[in-house]
Amino acid sequence: MSAEESTPKPGEFDLIRHLADAAGRYDNDVPRPAAVGIGDDAAVLDVDPGCQLVVTTDTLVAGVHFEADAAPGDIGYKALAVNLSDLAAMGATPAWHFLNLTGPPPDREWLGAFAAGMGELAGSEGTQLAGGDTTGGPMSVTVTALGQVPRGQALLRSTAQPGDRIVVSGMPGLAARALRWPERSPALEDAATTEAFRRLHRPRPRLALGRCLRGVAHACIDISDGLAADLGHILDASGLGAELWLDRLPDSPVFSGMTLESRWNLQLGGGDDYELCFTVPDAAGDLSALEEAAGVALTVIGRIRKGAGLDCIDADGAAFSPRTAGWDHFRSDPA
Ligand SMILES: Nc1ncnc2c1ncn2[C@@H]1O[C@H](COP(=O)(O)OP(=O)(O)OP(=O)(O)O)[C@@H](O)[C@H]1O
Ligand SMILES: Cc1ncc(C[n+]2csc(CCOP(=O)(O)O)c2C)c(N)n1
Ligand SMILES: [Mg+2]
Ligand SMILES: [Mg+2]
Ligand SMILES: [Mg+2]
């Protein structure tokens, strides 16, 4: 029997080597290789002159953010994607990421698929796995992502202006719709349903859009908890209010058969979209060049105004209060 067969589960240091080797197969052409990467007590990174470092961290926990039996490739992909989405919201270009992996000892097959899922996105976005930590315990994955932005150009939540148009990318509510699909996998092969499951399991962060919004958007956030909750963070941080026009929310065949109220609840409070919501002045003009450059549909859904709070208004001008504004880990019964 070979050593590999007799020890199917790697030890801690085998696992680190395995992750480093797998990452190297995807990210060996990254634009900014770490001066010192995996293997020492810490990484050493050179930041480009004239740039600021943008740093974010998010955790995914089994049973909370993904099913315990989820495909390992999807877990690896999404753990990085949700972090790159925060870099996109700041207008940053990803450069390095760190992986803190906690769980029962994985077998080589699980680990290989996990590393390939994360590596696929890392390779396509040019970010390098530069370090991390490995421990045993209940399964959770934390990624810390580091990106760069030209000095002073980071997009913020706090700088919306009265009169700005509110814009959302893509199709809010797709991932939430997929999460609530009774069979947990698409019953139909149609494009809209397939896209909804892709958005839930492998959300592509809107990095090109974030970069295009530098110097254009007044404020920006990525949608993780829900459109209403995350737009609410822009309003709170900017000390302003807004009107959101429900009839402008983009529609998809995946919502067919739902009442308008259920659809709005899903699109406003469902979470897991990883789309961008941003504000732009009228002076920025038509958004079609931006759509073209960023490769994603953009929809104007409302307007920033003085005051406080978010008013969601239907086609007849009647107010609608979503059942919940979005996901809250410490409150029960999220949308
Ligand atoms: N435990 C914590 N300690 C210190 N700062 C925190 C902690 N949790 C969140 N923050 C900070 O609070 C701010 C908002 O974090 P939050 O996690 O709500 O944003 P997000 O990552 O965009 O959303 P989501 O986690 O839903 O993707 C960020 O500046 C974040 O660094
Ligand atoms: C199995 C399973 N149950 C529920 C959800 C939905 N969900 C969990 S956390 C969260 C908000 C973002 O998290 P955070 O605020 O921690 O970044 C959402 C929308 C899911 N994806 N999988
Ligand atoms: Mg967070
Ligand atoms: Mg965010
Ligand atoms: Mg986040």
Tell me if 225 is assigned to a ligand binding site: yes
Q: Residues with beta carbon inside 6 Å of ligand 1?
A: 58, 82, 86, 224-225
Find tokens 């002073």 and name the residue. Answer: 152
Q: Is the ipTM of this complex over 0.90?
A: yes
Residue 333 covered by a domain: no
Whichever domain contains 284, its CATH number is 3.90.650.10
Sheet strands side by side (includes 93-102): 51-61, 140-150, 93-102, 128-135
Q: Are residues 126 and 252 in the same domain?
A: no
Structural domain count of the chain:
2
* pLDDT for position 101: 98
Q: Are strands 165-169 and 276-280 parallel, antiparallel or unpaired?
A: antiparallel
Please enumerate in sequence order all residues whose Cβ is within 8 A of that of 27, keeping only pairs 6 or more positions apart, or say none. 119, 122, 123, 126, 127, 128, 129
Give which of 271, 268, 167 is closest to 219, Cα–Cα: 167
Distance 275 CA to ligand 4 centre (A): 10
Q: Tell me what percent of the residues of the chain surpass a pLDDT of 70.
A: 96
Residue 76 has pLDDT above 80, yes or no: yes
What is the Cα–Cα distance from 270 to 263, expressed in whole angstroms? 10
* pLDDT for position 104: 94
CA 254, 257, 263, 265 dihedral sign is negative
Q: What is the mean pLDDT of residues 157-179?
A: 98
pLDDT tens-digit readout, 102-151: 999 999 999 999 999 999 999 999 999 999 999 999 999 999 999 999 99
Residues in the chain: 335
Q: Are residues 170 and 146 in the same domain?
A: no
Q: Are residues 103 and 186 in the same domain?
A: no
Higher pLDDT residue, 7 or 288?
Answer: 288
The partner residues of 132 in beta bridges, in order of sequence, read 99
* pLDDT for position 5: 47
Domain limits for position 109: 3-150
Higher pLDDT residue, 68 or 232?
Answer: 232
Q: Are residues 68 and 196 in the same domain?
A: no
Neighbours of 2 (CB within 10 A): 6
Residue 259 covered by a domain: yes
Asked if residue 64 has its Cβ within 6 Å of ligand 2, the reply is yes
Residue 286 covered by a domain: yes
Tell me if 157 is assigned to a ligand binding site: yes
Distance 265 CA to ligand 5 centre (A): 21
What is the Cα–Cα distance from 247 to 158, expressed in whole angstroms? 27
DSSP structure class, residue 176: H
Residues whose beta carbons lie less than 5 angstroms from ion ligand 4: 86, 222
Whichever domain contains 60, its CATH number is 3.30.1330.10
pLDDT tens-digit readout, 28-54: 789 999 999 999 999 999 999 999 999
* pLDDT for position 234: 98
What is the Cα–Cα distance from 110 to 283, expressed in whole angstroms? 51
What is the Cα–Cα distance from 164 to 305, expressed in whole angstroms? 8
Residue 242 covered by a domain: yes
Q: Are residues 184 and 53 in the same domain?
A: no
Q: Are residues 169 and 264 in the same domain?
A: yes
* pLDDT for position 245: 98
The pair of structure tokens assigned to 196 is 């909804």
pTM of the entire predicted model:
0.96
* pLDDT for position 334: 56
**DSSP count for the chain of H helices, then E strands:** 10, 11
Q: What are phi and psi of 268, to 5 degrees?
A: -90, -30
What is the Cα–Cα distance from 273 to 267, expressed in whole angstroms? 9
Find tokens 């958005």 and name the residue. Answer: 199
